[in-house]
Amino acid sequence: MTRVALIAHDDEKPEMIDLAQSYESTLAEFDLVGTGTTSKRIMAETDLTVERKESGPMGGDTQIGAEVAEGRMDGIVFLRDPLTAQPHEPDISALLRICDVHDVPLATTRASAEYILEGLVRDEADD
């Protein structure tokens, strides 16, 4: 089953909720994982089930990065707030780097997230 991580910085959580609601039927076909608060909010506002990791600052980004390194992740939607400094920026940079190293698609905007989700659906249909 296709495994997708959903992560959003605080200012981007409303956009993530809207994305999850818009793509709920698509996301329901995936094995979802996400960081703490983002996962909790998605599950509260949709019928989706999301495996909850720690919040980003508490190691959630690193936990998801470990899954990328283990070959367990097919795509990541990480709606980042580019205008606000994050206290766990080194963890964020490590996640971005490990996605590049392992060639795992990573979306950081709504538009790129839609492309990745639609591409993963096509890949799953081809299998």
- Place 72 in a pLDDT band, splitting at 50, 70 and 90: very high
Q: pLDDT tens across 15-62, in order?
A: 999 999 999 999 999 999 999 999 999 999 999 999 999 999 899 999
Judge whether 36 is annotated as a binding position: yes
Over range 78-100, report the average pLDDT. 91
Judge whether 55 is annotated as a binding position: yes
Active site residue 61: yes
For the entire predicted model, the pTM comes to 0.95
CATH superfamily, region 3-126: Methylglyoxal synthase-like domain (3.40.50.1380)
Q: What is the residue extent of each domain of the chain?
A: 3-126
What DSSP string describes 6-67? EEE-GGGHHHHHHHHHHTHHHHTTSEEEE-HHHHHHHHHHSS--EEE---GGGTHHHHHHHH
